Structure 1
Amino acid sequence: MNKAVELLNLWASYEQENPKADLAQFCQTYLASQQPESSLASFWQSPAPPDKASLLIKLIGRVSKLHTLHALAAFKECGLNSFDEFLYLSSVAYMTNPKKTDVISAHFNELSSGLLILDRLKKSGLILEQGDVHDKRTKRLTITSQGQSQLEACYQKLNEVNQLCFGGLAENQIELGIHLLQPVEATLAKHWLAAKMK
């Protein structure tokens, strides 16, 4: 059978079973169905999760952990001691004179933990803390030239780590992952911030 005809027939079947689905959803489902069945999780010390959503979150967690371990080893060469220090330094650099609480909330940390991270960056000479002209209780943050220099070095190291972790994926596969996971992150962040406000 002609491949185009076969694809149209698959789309027709999918549309019949999923009348509200669009072409993008069909394409994602089709691509996922083309992946070979394998026991990728068989090397885990613990049993594979019983459902697909649990398997997905376990994979995301393991990839994130391994990425962080590689990045942390690279960041130590740049003078940073944690991935959080890198994230906070990056936020101070790219937000406009943020308040301490803005930076901490952006990374879903508790206030006490976030203040400790900012204090370490300040003591290392990577950020400066200044009073707010409108509110004397508020502190604003800016990155120092030393902080900017170390941040740029960290980004170079991070590019190497990203290549190590994701170099085996094509650009369109990475884009698909972003497309699928970004709405999940946005929803979870919204729920977390709403719960925190309560």
Structure 2
Amino acid sequence: MEDVIEVLQRWAEYQKGHPTGGFEDFCRFYLARPKGKRPKASNFEKAQPADTDSMFMMTVSRSTLAFWVYMRIALRDTPLPTVEDIMLCAALFNLGESRKTDIINFAMMEISTGTGNLNRLIEKGFIEERIDPDDKRSKLIVLSSSGAKALKQCFAKAKMARDIFLTDLTEDDKKLVANILNPLQEKHSKLAIARKGKSIEEIHKEVMGDEKK
């Protein structure tokens, strides 16, 4: 009976944090956190933030930083040895022929940094550039054949980094986290770029309204 009560309590807690989540999502969430199988907290874990927002953002940001460490190692001996190079080339791979600003924004980089990196990739022959036939003042860029070949090699290395990072998660774990985070990234990958010229106070007011944090 105690187990039933615990499941009901956790179901109620889950609904508060995931109001659109279904029962199948809750089951994956529950099974991913079985009783008695959590490791003892380390000193580092004990020092983690107490409030939920800070804990959430620390988990996401440090997970991303850890993955980038693996990525930098993976790309070290490839034709595109930096994370920025592969981000820009992957953006071109996904979007096809585009303007530089569109690629830089898709990769969520600063214009000056992205422009410098793109120009370097053009000089190395990984990206080709031509005048936009619809606007002679603009230029269009596209992956060259050597760029596509280099990116394919980097994707193979990136998969190894991804395998290492995700090795302890089940398929259901990954689906659950993706379902939770995907709406967040879809919203803010657009919002952040559209508002990057504003102050954080202005963005906060637009997003949060008059709510005081």
**Equivalent residue, structure 2, for 1:184:** 184
In the alignment, residue 115 of structure 2 is paired with which amino acid?
Answer: L
Shift of 1:56: 2.0
CA offsets 1:124-149 (integer angstroms, 9 cap, x no match): 21001111001012111111111111
Tell me the distance in 2 between the aligned counterparts of 1:153 and 1:167.
Answer: 22
SS at match of 2:128: strand
Match runs of 1:2-151 below 5 Å: 6=4, 10=8, 14=12, 23-24=22-23, 26-27=26-27, 30-31=30-31, 34=34, 40=41, 42-43=43-44, 47-151=47-151
In the alignment, residue 104 of structure 1 is paired with which amino acid?
Answer: I
Tell me the distance in 2 between the aligned counterparts of 1:81 and 1:176.
Answer: 32
Shift of 1:150: 0.8
SS at match of 2:141: strand
**Equivalent residue, structure 1, for 2:155:** 155
Identity across the alignment (%): 25
Contact 2:78 2:154 in 1 (8 A): yes
Contact 1:41 1:48 in 2 (8 A): no
SS at match of 1:138: strand
Unaligned runs of 5+ in 2: 199-213
Shift of 1:43: 2.7
Contact 1:42 1:48 in 2 (8 A): no
| Greater Cα offset, 97-106 or 63-72 | 63-72
In the alignment, residue 181 of structure 1 is paired with which amino acid?
Answer: L
Kindly tell me the number of residue pairs found equivalent between the two proteins: 193
SS at match of 1:78: coil
CA offsets 1:64-85 (integer angstroms, 9 cap, x no match): 1121121112212112231011
2:167 equivalent to 1:167:
yes
Contact 2:80 2:151 in 1 (8 A): no
SS at match of 1:137: strand
SS at match of 2:195: helix
Shift of 1:167: 1.3
Unaligned runs of 5+ in 1: none
Indicate the structure whose relative CO is greater, using CA pairs within 8 Å and at least 6 residues apart. Answer: 2
| Greater Cα offset, 184-193 or 68-77 | 184-193
Residues 154, 164 of structure 1: alpha-carbon distance in 2 compared, 3 angstrom cutoff? same
Contact 1:126 1:147 in 2 (8 A): yes
TM-score, with structure 1 as normaliser: 0.82
Shift of 1:26: 4.3
In the alignment, residue 23 of structure 1 is paired with which amino acid?
Answer: G
Shift of 1:96: 2.3
SS at match of 2:159: helix
Shift of 1:31: 4.4
Tell me the distance in 1 between the aligned counterparts of 2:105 and 2:32.
Answer: 35
In the alignment, residue 106 of structure 1 is paired with which amino acid?
Answer: F
SS at match of 1:108: coil
